Chains A and B, each alone.
Chain A
């Protein structure tokens, strides 16, 4: 440790202890440290702004040919007119410019970056999507082929019941912790499928999930059959575990699941080849949190609504709002205590690990 380093450490230790001495009572050593800090701060800031703004951003570029920068330069100089009462109005020109620019930047950024995203997040759904199988539309599976021999309602439709199995998700998807679709297939439950829906098609899909479902988490599963070759995919059938006659889900062991759905084409089916798509999402129930957010936001806003007296229902809601505000203050206070203690720890850490350690280099 060099002599300069030791001097720096001792100077820092002296100023730290001088400021801590205020906790006992106000004293001249504390005053000295406080005034040194105030003076040093002002001087340092002036020097820094002179170098990084006046020289770097104004003077040097002007000398380099950007002569038009004299306009903001003069606007800046006009601010000093405030020192003379007779001419202080001139500074309003610069202030007007500053206010205009600042308002323009702030209105956009605050609305776009703070108000809208935060409002949007307040309007959350009752469940939160925590995982989704990726690229479920990536591959075509010609698993379901419905052909129409005759354009008549009574004619049975030939059905290709050859089960088609294909992996429709990238193997790497599992590593990200999302449900991974392993395979999808179709098979008919009858020998034929007719327009009146006498028989149905069994849609099957297998998926694996490396994550164990946590408390309040569940899967939503969706089968879709889409017309092949369509640039704009058009959904023919859609089902989730929540819809009527929904998907059945069976755990086949070691984190793999089989989802099945009986698709009844009914009389709305169309001729052609179709692709099977299977999407699985891991979601968590957010009923409670959502309710707290909704009640908290409304009650707190009502507390700050002063156009009507806080009586009756309005008064009760405002009181609920106060509770939310108080809980928020509590959280802030707890964190503030933690923060202040951390700062003390930092200084004590310096005194113990650096200042006291430097004793061995001196003595």
Chain B
């Protein structure tokens, strides 16, 4: 095992990922209390509320994060909520917010400027989050396309956090910490977080303390949310590959350890 070329492992992982897309296998997806809490929190928002959907992730984590934002938008539009999107990520954040929101809005016949607005990106997320507490327009004088907010009917009724009922933050980095410490703690806006699997362990503490009402962790969390909303999509399709690769990795870890102990046992016997 020690001498095995690592490229064989790459090949095995590649095969394990590709096979489920060619031969789809429907595996059961159990719902965790954290994902259930996300669904319940969104359900509890009064229909027609103004909500933030924050695209705080880079294109490199689309596989984990985009199913979350897509499903969240479907969930909000289904409840006729007014959605305001923004991003604290310069690379791809505002354009992903634009593309994904327009695509989902079309499914529900929503009109830009009336039912949803994309504020885009602004440098310096601490200043952005703090400034929006007094005036969103002072931070975002225009939307992502350069249209002044005063020309967008939806923004007539949305001036600052007082007019926001809920924040759905999807992040692959530490911006979620600042949404909690600045916006949730100081302005009391309830929020949930969808994050990559890498970031999820850290954020369980925020769920336990009640700062996040719920948590979606990685593709598994996204798949759970898709199931709860009743719209299985990319994440659910990806879970077959995820499970197969996990089995492969567990087998490789077990094999590696067995090999290690066998070698150590032989070396000890040789010494005796």
Contact = CB atoms under 8 A, between A and B. Distances in A.
A56 B142 contact: yes
A202 to B, nearest CB: 39
B257 interface: no
Interface in A335-351: 335-349
Interface stretch (A117-125, A166-174, A184-192, A242-250): A117-125
Given A112-B186, A113-B182, A114-B180, A339 B218 contact: yes
A352 B18 contact: yes
B271 to A, nearest CB: 29
Interface stretch (A43-51, A229-237, A299-307): A43-51
Interface string B216-235: 01111000000000000010
Nearest to B200: A335
A94 B192 CA distance: 36
A23 interface: yes
A353 B180 CA distance: 37
Max chain B Cβ within 10 angstroms of own Cβ: one of A105, A331, A344, A353: A344
B220 A338 contact: yes
B197 A342 contact: yes
A82 interface: no
A152 interface: no
Contacts of A336: 197-198
Contacts of A348: 14, 17-18, 21, 241
Given A49-B90, A109-B185, A349 B234 contact: yes
A311 interface: no
Contact of B13 (A102, A106, A338, A344): A344
A346 B197 CA distance: 14
Contacts of B237: 349
B123 A52 contact: yes
A343 B91 contact: no
Interface residues of B, number: 54
A53 interface: yes
B17 to A, nearest CB: 5
B164 interface: no
A84 interface: no
A2 interface: no
B218 A335 contact: yes
Interface in A106-134: 106, 108-110, 112-114, 117-118, 120-121
A346 B172 CA distance: 15
Contacts of A60: 141
A41 B185 contact: no
Contact of A23 (B7, B17, B196): B7
B130 interface: yes
A341 B245 contact: yes
Given A109-B182, A110-B181, A113-B186, A341 B209 contact: no
Contacts of B262: none
A114 B183 CA distance: 12
A338 B205 contact: no
Contacts of B124: 53
Max chain A Cβ within 10 angstroms of own Cβ: one of B61, B122, B197: B197
Contacts of A332: 198, 201
B120 interface: yes
A328 interface: yes
B106 to A, nearest CB: 16
B48 interface: no
A109 B242 contact: no
A117 B209 CA distance: 7
Interface string A67-97: 0000000000000000000000000000000
Given A23-B10, A121-B208, A339 B197 contact: yes
A24 interface: yes
Contact of B181 (A109, A121, A337, A346): A109
A348 B62 CA distance: 12
Max chain B Cβ within 10 angstroms of own Cβ: one of A24, A335, A348: A335
A52 B120 CA distance: 9
Contact of B201 (A331, A347, A349): A331
B121 interface: yes
B180 A346 contact: no
A127 to B, nearest CB: 15
A314 B201 CA distance: 28
B126 interface: yes
Interface in B118-169: 120-124, 126, 130, 141-142
A113 B181 CA distance: 4
Contacts of B181: 109-110, 112-114
Contacts of A102: 126
A49 B218 CA distance: 30
Given A109-B181, A345-B17, 15 more contacts: A52-B122, A57-B141, A108-B186, A113-B184, A121-B205, A335-B198, A338-B242, A338-B246, A339-B64, A339-B197, A340-B198, A341-B249, A343-B61, A345-B63, A345-B242
Interface of B: 7, 10, 13-14, 17-18, 21-22, 60-64, 90-91, 120-124, 126, 130, 141-142, 177-178, 180-182, 184-186, 196-198, 200-201, 205, 208-211, 217-220, 234, 237-238, 241-242, 245-246, 249
5 contacts: A52-B122, A56-B141, A61-B141, A121-B210, A343-B64
Smallest CB-CB A-B distances: 3 pairs? A346-B63, A113-B181, A113-B185
Interface of A: 23-24, 41, 44-45, 48-49, 52-53, 56-57, 60-61, 102, 105-106, 108-110, 112-114, 117-118, 120-121, 328, 331-332, 335-349, 352-353
